[in-house]
């Protein structure tokens, strides 16, 4: 079998191949609110996947993953999903397109990138959204972005995780140096400028890498649904946790389990924090922004119960360092990354300290980096990395 090529060797042999870029997702605040019709404030990271694609005459997608040094071939007519393998996202995308009667042509695709897998930055959505964007371009679908977002989400659901829409929305629609305030009920989005002055957004990748399929993500979602069903018995106008406030939630206390009640409380309070964060960012009030991050972490840890010892340790250690405004786990939880906001000039000291403290505590390394908010998925021009907005 041919060894998996690199993108460079692939392009050397196929100079007319088209290149694409799909970023990872970061989320300033608003965790586990998207599937509750709530608010989120994500953006796209500068860490991304790069794809190179060329049409073939076959009836298959041949996909090379440089990261895993593996090639898979997925039949367009009969895609088989291997649940324990990265290729499930490729097969799931083919299933979805077939379910929607969208035309497919044979393609050879190679991808690589600096986006870490399992770090809470939605590398799976970057792959899925990247593939949907590529198929839209290569197979002449010409679908609007809102349909592509939904197709990507549907594909990911086929892999077993009932995620919300935040990751796909951010990966398709994000803009450089901006976060995106998304109302997950109306799908209205508003861009919020992220100032580069005075404070820097950074990440620590704990190296505890989760697979959401094995994690209790879907169970959290079911708890939310139970609470909505309970609330709707009292008021049929209630369709999602978005429609509750602390008072209406309190009224459900006698009928709900303490665990379900706490999970719903996280969602209700987190929605509020998203809106407060937008104001703090607009006012460049870093102390308030930092306090909101920490409150979010505490709520995810105690009420939603999606943290783990490594993430709690990182948040506590960061909060003890001078210059750190706030920190919280980012993404679904159960591992992944901690997001923190710091005075820019402190970053290097923080990086060194956190890496050595983490090493001493858990005998493992962690990556610490600053985030640049970038544009969403896009085509990269053949010659000189010039981006064409499509």
Residues near ligand GLA (CB under 6 A): 31-32, 34-35, 122, 163-164, 166-167, 331-332
**Min separation Cβ 32 and ligand GLA, Å:** 5
> Computed from CA positions of residues 382, 385, 388, 390, in that sequence, does the dihedral angle turn out positive or negative?
positive
Judged by DSSP in three states, 18 sits in strand
Q: Which is nearer to ligand GLA, 27 or 351 (CB)?
A: 27
**Min separation Cβ 171 and ligand GLA, Å:** 11
Residue of closest CB approach to ligand GLA: 163
**Min separation Cβ 45 and ligand GLA, Å:** 13
**Min separation Cβ 73 and ligand GLA, Å:** 27
User: For 259, phi and psi rounded to 5 degrees?
Assistant: -65, -45
Q: Which is nearer to ligand GLA, 96 or 122 (CB)?
A: 122
- Residue 69's nearest CA partner among 156, 4, 20 is 4
Instruction: Supply angle C-alpha 337, 298, 171, rounded to 5.
Output: 40
Q: Which is nearer to ligand GLA, 294 or 332 (CB)?
A: 332
- Separation of alpha carbons 22 and 94, rounded Å: 18
What totals of helices (H) and strands (E) does the chain contain, helices first? 11, 15
Is 146 a catalytic site residue? no
Q: Which is nearer to ligand GLA, 165 or 319 (CB)?
A: 165
User: For 324, phi and psi rounded to 5 degrees?
Assistant: -85, 125
- Separation of alpha carbons 186 and 180, rounded Å: 14
Q: Which is nearer to ligand GLA, 61 or 267 (CB)?
A: 267
**Min separation Cβ 132 and ligand GLA, Å:** 15
**Min separation Cβ 68 and ligand GLA, Å:** 21
Q: Are 45 and 374 a contacting pair, CB within 8 Å?
A: yes
Q: Which is nearer to ligand GLA, 21 or 221 (CB)?
A: 221
Q: Which is nearer to ligand GLA, 34 or 54 (CB)?
A: 34
Residues in the chain: 390
**Min separation Cβ 103 and ligand GLA, Å:** 28
Count Cβ atoms below 10 Å from residue 189 Cβ, excluding itself. Answer: 15
What is the helix, strand, coil percentage profile of the chain, to 5?
A: 40, 20, 35
Burial class of 40 by CB neighbour count within 10 A (0 to 12, 13 to 18, 19+) = buried
Given 167, 243, 303, 374, which residue is catalytic?
A: 167
Alpha helices by DSSP H, the chain: 7-13, 88-99, 123-138, 145-158, 166-173, 217-234, 246-250, 258-282, 286-302, 309-319, 347-362
Judged by DSSP in three states, 211 sits in coil
Q: Are 82 and 91 a contacting pair, CB within 8 Å?
A: yes
Separation of first and last alpha carbons in the chain: 36
Catalytic residue positions? Answer: 167
């Amino acid at each position: 079998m041919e060894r998996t090529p690199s993108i460079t060797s692939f392009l050397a042999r196929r100079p007319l191949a088209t290149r694409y870029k799909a970023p990872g997702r970061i989320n300033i605040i608003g965790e586990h609110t998207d599937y509750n019709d709530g608010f989120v404030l994500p953006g796209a990271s500068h860490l991304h996947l790069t794809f190179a694609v060329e049409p073939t005459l076959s009836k298959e997608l041949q996909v090379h993953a440089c990261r895993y040094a593996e090639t898979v071939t997925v039949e367009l007519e009969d895609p088989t999903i291997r649940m324990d393998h990265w290729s499930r996202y490729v097969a799931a995308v083919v299933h979805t397109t077939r379910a929607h009667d969208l035309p497919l042509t044979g393609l050879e695709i190679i991808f690589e990138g600096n986006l870490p897998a399992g770090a809470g930055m939605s590398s799976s959505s970057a792959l899925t959204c990247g593939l949907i964007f590529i198929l839209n371009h290569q197979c002449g679908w010409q679908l609007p972005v809102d349909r592509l977002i939904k197709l990507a989400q549907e594909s990911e659901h086929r892999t077993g995780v009932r995620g919300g829409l935040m990751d796909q929305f951010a990966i398709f629609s994000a803009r450089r140096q901006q976060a995106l305030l998304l109302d997950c009920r109306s799908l209205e989005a508003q861009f919020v400028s992220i100032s580069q002055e005075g404070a820097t957004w950074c990440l620590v990748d704990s190296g505890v890498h989760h697979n959401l399929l094995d994690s209790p993500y879907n169970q959290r979602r079911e708890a939310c649904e139970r609470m909505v069903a309970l609330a709707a018995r009292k008021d049929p106008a209630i369709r999602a946790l978005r429609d509750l406030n602390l008072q209406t939630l309190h009224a459900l206390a006698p009928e709900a389990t303490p665990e379900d009640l706490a999970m719903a409380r996280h969602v209700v309070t987190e929605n509020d924090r998203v809106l407060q964060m937008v104001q703090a960012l607009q006012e460049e009030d870093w102390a308030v922004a930092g306090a909101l991050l920490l409150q979010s972490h505490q709520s995810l840890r105690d009420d939603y119960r999606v943290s783990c010892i490594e993430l709690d340790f990182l948040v506590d250690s960061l909060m003890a360092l001078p210059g750190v405004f706030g920190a919280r786990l980012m993404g679904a939880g159960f591992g992944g990354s901690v997001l923190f906001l710091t005075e820019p000039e402190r970053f290097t000291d923080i990086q060194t300290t956190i890496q050595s403290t983490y090493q001493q505590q858990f005998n493992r390394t962690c990556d610490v980096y600053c985030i640049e908010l970038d544009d969403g998925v896009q085509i990269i021009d053949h010659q000189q990395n010039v981006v064409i907005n499509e």
